[in-house]
Copies of this chain bind each other. A is one copy, B any other.
Amino acid sequence: MKFSQMFIPTTKETPNDATLPSHQFLVRAGFILQTGAGIYDYMPLGKIVLDKIRAVVKEEMDKSGANEVQFGFVTPLSFWEESGRATAMGPELLKFKDRKGMGFVLSPTNEEAVVNMIKNRITSYKDLPINLYQIYTKFRDEARPRFGLMRGREFLMKDSYSFHATKEDLVREFHVMEETYKNVYTRLGLDFRVVSADSGAIGGSGSKEFMVLANSGEDTLVICPNCEYGANIEAATRKPVKKEPLETKELQKIETPNCKTIAEVSEFLKADPFYSMKAVMKKAVYEELSEVVLFFVRGTDELEETKACNAAGALELEDASEEEVRAANLVPGYCGIINLPENIKVFVDEELKEENNLVCGANEENFHYAGVDLTSMQNLNFADLVAVQEGDICSCCGGKLEYKKGIEAGHIFQLGTKYSEAMDAKFLDSNGKSQPFEMGCYGIGVSRLVAAVIEQNHDEKGCIWTKETAPFIVDVIVSNAKKDEELEAGMKIYEALKNAGVDTIIDDRKQQRFGFKMGDFELIGFPYAVVVGKKLKEGSVEVVDRKTLEKVEISIDEVVNYLIEKIK
């Protein structure tokens, strides 16, 4: 392709709201263009990158044996009412009525549509398993669309859905998908980790996320440097922290004037905060109502909100205001497990299960209890509520856990029968018995990957595309395209590279100077440039490596082979 015949509007202007490098550079280098909150047009270079990533995803999915399909982007609201997600998805689900008043949604995901597709069309275990995938537009009406392609509202996703006669077969396909996903990210040249994950609103049991490592990632990952263990902090576990158990003591109420925090109480009582209970009050939002819910973790731990939300079975947790806390008859700063008002839901971290000598608030201003024995209390709800911290111990190998930041680029789920049961989709098993399908579902954020590649591969000058994702691998820069000899020499190199199957662009623009062209090369981030300029008289050109910005002088006769060798 020739620069002069391609629409590549680079600019020096950074969008006001662009905080991430990928957002800034993709806009400035003419890949994308924002038209509304979280809605982007792809300009020619952006479309090429999107399609290259899409092609890798498609190839690997086809290799896995999955069948490609395409669901309507507009789907009937009735599907969502049947599954119960019309309300459960909340305002992210964009609903509208057509000219006849029928309800529809813009698909954010397609569990309902795929169940509708196979229902009554697959009726026997003999036709199982099957995995159906699509790479198609999605829409989520995010409350705060931001970070460019990273968290858009309209985006491109690969979503697939598998159907099985047994749980075992679902687990088999889950592993096939895990390998398929690893192949995708490896081919794209990304540094990534597979981590255990929370299943969130999709539901189901086992789930894994594929995280592209980047400092700007929105997700915190807990990684063991010694073994394979990795998990989203939302789902991370650790070896329980243990200390010598204290001697059991009598329960006693102690005046603790103005001691509202764990630190204050521990200091006042000269006690190890490890043996205290930290109370966290949250407003849990359910479909029909909201209420204040109480979580207890060890004084030295922090609450992990997603774990807490799952324990409470809520749609989401919000911070509870002091008014809401008081309305629930709780005493901020002095909240404890004893003498709680009735009807309040309480969840206790499971690492506290064996403790019998704890300090906690007395639910009374300026008082705490000591000697609290949880082992003697009935009907407590224990759950994993703890945010694993750096330095905690890996439960697999004993290594010291570390944090990394990651971008969620894929997520695979063992759904089970949640949707097949809700939508009454069944098959006859080998005994002639009607059974709901076991389902898996698997997503890759294709347009998000465009941004993720750049978050992981950029410098202060611009993008640095990997070989599989670059819109063109080589940019032949004709220093002064008004000089016939330079343009001709450039065209020869360009044609030779194209004939060798290397995606190449030639910067043949007559109205632009060399510096401008070099700036575009650095901003756009093609992996290599060949500069055809002053050295031409001596029979040589310069090859620039975008990643290192190193320049090498090469004879014009050797440059094509040199580049082919580099690209291999």
A residues apposed to B, CB below 8 Å: 5-7, 9, 33, 35-37, 39-44, 46-48, 50-51, 65, 67-76, 79, 91, 94, 96, 98-100, 102, 104, 106, 113, 116-118, 121-122, 126, 130, 132, 134, 137, 139, 141, 143, 153-154, 511
**Nearest chain B CB to A96 CB, angstrom units:** 4
Contact of A70 among B9, B42, B75 (CB under 8 A): B42
Most buried by B among A40, A74, A79, A511: A74
* A141 surroundings in chain B (CB, below 8 A): 98-99
A-B contact pairs, 12 of them (CB 8 A): A7-B121, A7-B132, A9-B121, A35-B72, A35-B79, A36-B102, A37-B98, A41-B117, A72-B154, A94-B98, A96-B96, A98-B153
**Nearest chain B CB to A551 CB, angstrom units:** 30
**Nearest chain B CB to A516 CB, angstrom units:** 14
Name the prevailing secondary structure of the A interface residues: mixed
Q: Can you name 11 extra interface pairs (CB under 8 A) apart from A7-B118, A35-B113, A74-B106?
A: A35-B76, A36-B102, A36-B104, A41-B113, A41-B117, A44-B67, A48-B68, A51-B68, A74-B139, A91-B99, A98-B153
* A104 surroundings in chain B (CB, below 8 A): 36
Beta-carbon nearest neighbor of A30 in chain B: B121
* A75 surroundings in chain B (CB, below 8 A): 35-36, 39
**In the bound complex, how far is the Cα of B69 from the Cα of A43, in angstroms?**
5
Whether the Cβ atoms of A71 and B41 lie closer than 8 Å is yes
Contact of A72 among B41, B43, B50, B73 (CB under 8 A): B41
**Nearest chain B CB to A217 CB, angstrom units:** 25
| A70 touching B96 in the complex, CB below 8 Å, given contacts A36-B76, A102-B36, A121-B9 | no
* A79 surroundings in chain B (CB, below 8 A): 35
Most buried by B among A42, A46, A116, A154: A42
* A91 surroundings in chain B (CB, below 8 A): 99
Beta-carbon nearest neighbor of A51 in chain B: B68
* A98 surroundings in chain B (CB, below 8 A): 37, 94, 141, 153
**In the bound complex, how far is the Cα of B75 from the Cα of A106, in angstroms?**
13
Whether the Cβ atoms of A67 and B132 lie closer than 8 Å is no
* A117 surroundings in chain B (CB, below 8 A): 33, 41, 43
* A35 surroundings in chain B (CB, below 8 A): 71-72, 75-76, 79, 113, 116
* A40 surroundings in chain B (CB, below 8 A): 72
Whether the Cβ atoms of B70 and A50 lie closer than 8 Å is yes
Whether the Cβ atoms of B39 and A72 lie closer than 8 Å is yes
**In the bound complex, how far is the Cα of B116 from the Cα of A76, in angstroms?**
31
* A70 surroundings in chain B (CB, below 8 A): 41-42, 46-47, 50
**In the bound complex, how far is the Cα of B117 from the Cα of A224, in angstroms?**
47
